[in-house]
Amino acid sequence: MARESSVLTLEEAQRVGLHAQLLSGPRMSGGPARMVRTLGGVQLDTISVLARSHELVAYARFGPIDRKAIERSYWGPKSETFEYWSHAACVLPLEEWPAYEFKRRAWREKGRRWHRLEDMVKSCGEVRDRLRAEGPLTARQLGGAKQGGVWWDWSEIKIAAEWLLDIGELVCRERRGFQRVYDLAERAIPDHLVGAEWTDEECAVRLVTAAGRSLGVATVADIAAYNGVPQALVRQALGSTELTKVEVKGWQQPAFASPGALDVLDRRVKGRTVLVSPFDSLIWFRPRAERLFGLRHRLEAYVPRDKRIHGYFAMPVLAGSKFVGLVDPGRRGDTLVAKQVTLQTADSPRHVASALTEAAHWVGSTNVVVERVEPAARKPEMEDFLRRGSA
């Protein structure tokens, strides 16, 4: 049903955004593979607390899904994905390969990444020759990912492989032990995709349309950040999409809605109570998370311990259409440890306890322990809800 009004309340915008991100309503069929297409991509990160972020994204949408099934959907022999730079390193739908040509072209025009090679031609030639002769290989198999120093002290071969990935000569469609496996794009990407040559404008129209669909309702800044498209290019592309201009009360900038996204407002849909990864596509763009949900959240993994407020990997807790608290989780044997819990609403303890109990079951923990609670006076209440949940 089409809505007559193009003005949304903040609560309506929240409902639209959550539904577009598959975090309300019935759980979709098709598993993580279909989820990647709907979200337009899933961000990757090396940090692993309860699980790696790409697993947490699937968990938030499917509940206690088998973790091996998640990996097979992203990188299995039948997967329809590839890795590339969207807003960050992401698993992306394979059919979007041509849409990222504008980024590959920009890398080629720049002529180098931030690393410098002593002999770019020689190193790149060695990588191509090895892959052509031996098939897909990891950086370690190619000759080493690091020179032995800090993590960013890459070997010449690793830098060459990453450069060739940046410009589209190589592609990653598989990971082994979370290591990228490099392959020749001409071999690993279907001919009709690898041979497509899109203009910057064509790329932008495709990615702006996809971002609008994945976000439901969004500003130009939101759309630009989602797939790493410059705002000027987003504005240029908007007229060639079916996104419609709307107003969200309280937002200073106009917003755009995807066709059909507002139809959810004419239905009753059930929300979720779940821990959300800081890198989840719902909230990783912090200005949008604060504007849409009032969620002020910063990843503190790289903040000195004594300056952290909510913890190393504080995960927001979603309850329906609201964020009600934050949990910094960890694991100690078969115990899920909530190192710090920050309660933000009157009913936070009930929701946080529910989210922790389900997460513990998913990762195989048989017990949940809470170490610190803010405000501290509510710790007994928090523990009481956990006891009820495990009873």
Asked whether residue 171 is assigned to any structural domain, the reply reads yes
Asked whether residue 202 is assigned to any structural domain, the reply reads no
Q: Split the chain (391 residues) into runs of 10 and give each run's mean pLDDT.
A: 73 98 91 95 95 97 94 90 96 98 94 69 91 94 64 74 96 93 97 95 98 98 98 98 97 96 94 96 97 94 93 97 97 96 96 97 96 97 88 46
pLDDT at 29: 85
Kindly state whether residues 186 and 335 are assigned to the same domain.
no
Asked whether residue 351 is assigned to any structural domain, the reply reads yes
Distance, in Å, from the CA atom of 50 to the CA atom of 29, rounded to the nearest integer, reads 25
Domains: count for the chain: 2
Check if the beta carbon of residue 42 is closer than 8 Å to that of residue 30. no
Kindly state whether residues 35 and 181 are assigned to the same domain.
yes
Q: Which domain holds residue 140?
A: 30-194
Kindly state whether residues 327 and 190 are assigned to the same domain.
no
Check if the beta carbon of residue 272 is closer than 8 Å to that of residue 312. no
Distance, in Å, from the CA atom of 210 to the CA atom of 276, rounded to the nearest integer, reads 22
Kindly state whether residues 190 and 309 are assigned to the same domain.
no
Kindly state whether residues 187 and 301 are assigned to the same domain.
no
Helix (H, G, I), strand (E, B) or coil at 137: strand
Domain boundary among 151, 171, 194: 194
Domain boundary among 172, 194, 216: 194
Domain boundary among 171, 194, 217: 194
Asked whether residue 7 is assigned to any structural domain, the reply reads no
Asked whether residue 201 is assigned to any structural domain, the reply reads no
Kindly state whether residues 183 and 309 are assigned to the same domain.
no
Asked whether residue 145 is assigned to any structural domain, the reply reads yes
Asked whether residue 346 is assigned to any structural domain, the reply reads yes
DSSP string, 275-300: E--TT-TTTSSHHHHHHHH-------
pLDDT at 112: 72
Where does the chain show beta strands of DSSP type E?
Answer: 7-8, 42-43, 81-85, 89-93, 137-138, 170-176, 179-184, 217-218, 244-248, 255-257, 272-275, 315-320, 322-332, 335-343, 367-370, 373-374
pLDDT at 116: 65
Burial class (CB in 10 A: 0-12, 13-18, 19+), 101: middle
Asked whether residue 128 is assigned to any structural domain, the reply reads yes
